[in-house]
Structure 1
Amino acid sequence: MDTPAVPMPKDEQERQILDRLTVIRDKLLLLKRDRTKYIRSQDVMVLYDQLVDQVKQLNEIRKGEHKGENRLDRVLESCLQLISLFFMTIGRTNDVPAAYALTSTIKRLLDHLTEARLFSPKDLDSISNTLGKLDGILKNADSAHSPYLVELLAHREALCKSMLANLRKQLDQLDEPLQATYERLISIMRSMSLANTKSKFSVNEVQKFIAKLKEIEGSMVDGKFVDAEGKELRGSDVVSELLKRCLMWSNIVIERKGEIPEAFQDKYNILINIRNELEKLSITQAWSLRETDLYDFQRELDKIDESRVDGNWLDQDGKPAELYVQRTLLYLIRRSYGYIYYLMNSSEPVSEALLPIYNQLQTLKRCLIEVKNSGGVSSVRELYPYSMKLNSIDNMRVDGKFMVGDDIPEGQGSVTELLAECFDLNYELRVAAEESEGSGKESGKDSGKQSGTESPAPQGTA
């Protein structure tokens, strides 16, 4: 976005739009960096309306014709990316703008899967499901959103679906028994790459993966994968080639032991830090993630990814990185994009202002389900802590709404629905406990009656 290599627009009207978009982008960045208060919907919508107005003007100027990328396109991309993440942050995850950042990440993932030729059915299934959700969002788009944005996202989605279909064709070339072997090899390759980027390299860990590769190699007959009748399976050559790649990579990893040449150490350190930070967020995201923070990670990753020349990085002397360095850096980039995709996909339809309440209710729900699955409670008294917490959250509502100051944050329906689910679970457990206590008292009375009316045994008998 800031590189001089991207030319300024030649058209005077485009220059004016660029100036206005730059102001919008800077306002979005300032809003993103302000951690003193939560992000309000009204603040985001003002900037969104301004952005849509500039997009409309740009569309009218270009009239569908675009002669090469310029600085305006880069700034517009940043604005759209930021506004998309803001929509996630305020809980409007099912609105059209929220889909923009997700399609960007999906496109990156598909580009890398296509380039690496290393992917499993699970990778494709996850992306397919997400594209299905985005399809629903676009079909339900209302007139409040820019037709240009809807059209842009529809085009992006169609492109992603086309790329996905091409990747599926490659997997369809494998007979079913080989698909499991192929997926296992992908898992081993990624596990070795993970071991290669740990702070402390473990030879023993990599040796275990090599043993698994040898086991798969041992199942081959004359260098081919065959069925029970000895007939070569369809796709045997593809899986054989992947096995060779895995074995070669394992030898390189063992030889290099995680050591990166000084010329690429800076890039490696940046990518390791990004990967580690995103990994932490993936564990604590319910409590610590503000979706707009992902923008900085994305921008840094994009910058490093796009600095490649013919798919590889160059050192200060213009020499390309050796295979070991190239694969290690690419693994870290792809892993990081994968975390960003997961975090965006996990974004809850709740404003960050309501997330503390929402997360508490999520925890309460999990606890109540766990109690129910483990046989319930023996007395109503055991439910008091849950009941008190639920009532305290319920009492926070004002006229049925959760307020923050004078604001009504997005996500009221999701929080209220979750609160109702917790109350229902608590009620079920209470009823079951009362019935259990009641039946216990009845059985106690019955046994008392029986002991009081029992005829004494005749004397002289034992």
Structure 2
Amino acid sequence: MTDSPAVRAPLDPKEQPVLDQLLGIRTQLELLRADKSTYVKSEDVIRLFNTLIDQVEVLNQLRSNNRLEQNRVDTVLDDCFQLVSLAYMAIGKNHEAPAVYSALSTVKRLLDHLHEAAFFSPKDLESVGHRLEEYKSTVERGRESYSPQLTTLLEARLEGCQHLLSKLQHSLEKLSPEQKVTYEKLVSILRSLSACNTKSKYPATEVKNLHAQLKEIAQHLESENKFDINLSDSERFAQVMQTMHMRESKNLEGEQLVADLLNRCLLWHDIIEQKQGRIDERFEETYKKLLGIRNQLEKLQLTQAWSLRETDLYSFQRQLDRIDESRVDGNFLDATGQPADLHTQRTLLYLLRKSYSLIYFLIISSEPVSEALLPIYNQLNTLKRCLEEVKISGGVSSPRELYPYSMKLNSIDNMRIDGKFMIGSDIPDGQGAVNHLLAECFDLAYELRLEATQDSDDEGEAAPPEPERASVTAE
């Protein structure tokens, strides 16, 4: 299966029945995820969730005197919560408390990595902060509907994420508005350099352009690269990182924060220019695995609306978790326990963090519509975009031009039974969202038809008298 690699304490024999039940729940959730012949049904997910909560209550009773116990039961329990959380999203219950679990797990990973990396954009933190507020509201709404076991667990995770977010926000407090713009530009350049470093063919021209931007910023700041030329790349990087991490205790001035990040960008440019995408062969397997995950997630990002089943994210999450947790003191080690060189370490970390951020994007982009209704929802979204483009480009010259849109909308509308979209005898979640989108499309089509009709009437009124047209024809 897909257990986390973290070392666990031996299993208490009393917990064996709980573990057996959890393994069975996980297997059933895995089967739901893997079966692409049908959509994930609400009753199956809710039944498994309730069974899972029952086992949590049994486990809590067994651990009444030892709340800090961590063993394989906790690993499998986390797997179950991750799967059931993503399954709630697949059935369109994105705004229900169970769906929050997976999102919070990903946010925690992201914040941990931002803290470790010691660079991030203020916009990154604003986005995460906004999401945490939404998740907090979701958990609060679910307080009466769901077990206290679940709400307590989610509140603890929320608190951990909020604490780390506040810590990161505090480190950037002294950036002035102008410095914030420069800082965000440097963050973008650093990430772009890392992306260049992982391309199949080293993009020398793109890297050169990014370096030119760095030099322009350095001139504007009247800053110089003050590295000791006698230091190795690793020593120079350690020097930069040490300075950047000082912000946590000293809350550095904005000018120093920008200067630190600029130095780091310049150093990273020098390193990747020297390596040009070549990775230490000892870590080639890990690199290819992370690169493959990143590429698959980027494809899903482009085709999400049509091809993503949210539970598919579970396998990506677990693969990344295993790689992340295999690090020792933050370092990737080879088979003999030796750490990778600086370039390889930072390249692998970039791919790991990028993959987590893509999962986060896919989670927050998930529509609150059941997988069963997604084909209809996606068709309506496409129709809406087309109608909006027609309106922006000046509308139609005749109501006849709207016939294809009207026919499609009517065919979708006729699929409803008593105002609901049915799949067999089931009424999938997301009815409100689909009906609202259908109404928007009808409204757009009506507005375009009305404008076209008015334009036709105006042209008729402005037309020259009939006798004159006859005279012209006679000539």
TM-score > 0.5, shorter chain as reference: yes
CA distance in 1, matches of 2:409, 2:304: 23
In the TM superposition, residue 408 of structure 1 has moved relative to its aligned partner by 1.2
Moved more, 215-224 or 17-26: 215-224
**Paired residue type of 1:390:** L
Contact persistence 2:372–2:423 (CA under 8 A)? yes
SS in 2 for 1:407: coil
Match 1:346 to one of 365, 374, 379: 365
CA distance in 2, matches of 1:234, 1:31: 52
Contact persistence 2:89–2:366 (CA under 8 A)? yes
Contact persistence 1:6–1:71 (CA under 8 A)? yes
2:316 counterpart of 1:314 = no
In the TM superposition, residue 144 of structure 1 has moved relative to its aligned partner by 3.1
Moved more, 324-333 or 37-46: 37-46
Moved more, 178-187 or 383-392: 178-187
The superposition leaves residues 168-200 of structure 1 with CA deviations (integer Å, 9 ceiling, x where unpaired) of 111112222211111111110000000000111
CA distance in 1, matches of 2:258, 2:393: 45
SS in 1 for 2:465: helix
**Paired residue type of 1:145:** Y
2:336 counterpart of 1:278 = no
In the TM superposition, residue 9 of structure 1 has moved relative to its aligned partner by 2.2
Flag the 1:451–1:67 CA change in 2: closer, same or farther, 3 A.
closer
Match of 2:118 in 1: 117
In the TM superposition, residue 317 of structure 1 has moved relative to its aligned partner by 1.7
Contact persistence 2:214–2:262 (CA under 8 A)? yes
Unpaired segments ≥5 residues, structure 1 = 225-232, 455-462
In the TM superposition, residue 450 of structure 1 has moved relative to its aligned partner by 9.0
The superposition leaves residues 390-413 of structure 1 with CA deviations (integer Å, 9 ceiling, x where unpaired) of 000001112211111121111111
Match of 1:394 in 2: 413
Match of 1:228 in 2: none
CA distance in 2, matches of 1:390, 1:176: 48
Contact persistence 1:268–1:329 (CA under 8 A)? yes
Moved more, 100-109 or 126-135: 126-135
Correspondence list, 1:81-92, <5 A: 81-92=82-93
**Paired residue type of 1:345:** I
In the TM superposition, residue 4 of structure 1 has moved relative to its aligned partner by 9.1
Correspondence list, 1:140-179, <5 A: 140-179=141-180
Correspondence list, 1:64-79, <5 A: 65-79=66-80
Match of 1:136 in 2: 137
Contact persistence 2:4–2:318 (CA under 8 A)? no
Flag the 1:314–1:383 CA change in 2: closer, same or farther, 3 A.
same
Contact persistence 1:403–1:409 (CA under 8 A)? yes
**Paired residue type of 1:396:** M
The superposition leaves residues 230-257 of structure 1 with CA deviations (integer Å, 9 ceiling, x where unpaired) of xxx9422222121111111101101111
Contact persistence 2:143–2:151 (CA under 8 A)? no
In the TM superposition, residue 64 of structure 1 has moved relative to its aligned partner by 7.0
Match of 2:378 in 1: 359
Contact persistence 1:8–1:72 (CA under 8 A)? no
SS in 1 for 2:172: helix
Flag the 1:4–1:388 CA change in 2: closer, same or farther, 3 A.
closer
Match 2:8 to one of 6, 9, 26: 6
Moved more, 382-391 or 59-68: 59-68
**Paired positions, count:** 442
Contact persistence 1:109–1:334 (CA under 8 A)? yes
Contact persistence 1:174–1:235 (CA under 8 A)? yes
SS in 2 for 1:172: coil
Match of 2:18 in 1: 17
Match 2:283 to one of 245, 256, 264: 264
The superposition leaves residues 236-293 of structure 1 with CA deviations (integer Å, 9 ceiling, x where unpaired) of 2222121111111101101111011111000000000000000000111000000000
What RMSD in Å do the two structures reach over aligned CA positions? 1.8
Match of 1:328 in 2: 347
Match of 1:288 in 2: 307
**Paired residue type of 2:55:** Q
Contact persistence 2:89–2:99 (CA under 8 A)? yes
In the TM superposition, residue 143 of structure 1 has moved relative to its aligned partner by 3.0
Moved more, 266-275 or 41-50: 41-50
In the TM superposition, residue 2 of structure 1 has moved relative to its aligned partner by 6.4
Q: If you compute each CA radius of gyration, which structure gives the higher value, 1 or 2?
A: 1
Flag the 1:385–1:4 CA change in 2: closer, same or farther, 3 A.
closer
SS in 2 for 1:347: coil
CA distance in 2, matches of 1:432, 1:60: 68
2:418 counterpart of 1:416 = no
**Paired residue type of 1:196:** N
Match of 1:227 in 2: none
Contact persistence 1:175–1:234 (CA under 8 A)? no
The superposition leaves residues 276-321 of structure 1 with CA deviations (integer Å, 9 ceiling, x where unpaired) of 0000001110000000000000000000000000100111221111
Match of 1:37 in 2: 38
The superposition leaves residues 136-193 of structure 1 with CA deviations (integer Å, 9 ceiling, x where unpaired) of 1112115331211111111111211111111111111222221111111111000000
CA distance in 2, matches of 1:191, 1:150: 39
Moved more, 362-371 or 139-148: 139-148
**Paired residue type of 2:158:** E
**Paired residue type of 2:383:** L
Contact persistence 2:63–2:69 (CA under 8 A)? no
CA distance in 2, matches of 1:67, 1:437: 75
SS in 2 for 1:219: helix
Match 1:248 to one of 267, 286, 294: 267
Moved more, 281-290 or 176-185: 176-185
CA distance in 2, matches of 1:69, 1:197: 37
**Paired residue type of 1:248:** L
Match 2:387 to one of 361, 368, 373: 368
SS in 1 for 2:458: helix
**Paired residue type of 1:21:** L
2:423 counterpart of 1:404 = yes
CA distance in 1, matches of 2:47, 2:358: 30
Identity of aligned residues (%): 53
2:256 counterpart of 1:237 = yes
TM normalised by structure 1 equals 0.92
Unpaired segments ≥5 residues, structure 2 = 226-251
